[in-house]
Structure 1
């Protein structure tokens, strides 16, 4: 079980990751709409976005674990 301090730190980290994920989404959209896109850069950004999403889901699960788990 997490302490109050760990919960606060986890929520702060979660919020920062969500902001970064959103920002990456905007950058990717901008790059795609302003051809010619740098395919390598877009792939790297999409990969980073997926990694962030995985971390976000993990932290959300830590903060709100499933009752049935």
Structure 2
């Protein structure tokens, strides 16, 4: 989704990274809250964890897109 926008403006990429980090933190807080709840839906928690991991991967890809390529 976000990783395909390699030619985008660095400011746009940084803004997307910030939004993804915010969502990642929110998911982390939600997962931590649900971990303490014995009645929490395990499948829902697994899906949240999977989404969190996906966000982490997207953030890493976008951050690498901000690093300029060095000539060989």
Give the alignment's TM-score, normalised by structure 1. 0.83
Pairwise mapping of residues 37-52 of structure 1 onto structure 2 (< 5 A)?
A: 37-52=40-55
Structure with the larger helix share:
1
Which runs of 4 or more aligned residues in structure 1 lie more than 2 Å from their structure 2 counterparts after TM superposition?
A: 64-67
2:3 is matched with none
Q: Which runs of 5+ in 1 are unaligned?
A: none
Give the alignment's TM-score, normalised by structure 2. 0.80
1:20 is matched with 23
Deviations 1:7-50 (A, max 9, x none): 01000000000000010000000001121221011011001001
3-state DSSP class of the match of 1:35?
A: coil
What number of residue pairs does the alignment pair up? 66
1:55 is matched with 58
3-state DSSP class of the match of 1:41?
A: helix
- Aligned-residue RMSD, C-alpha: 2.2
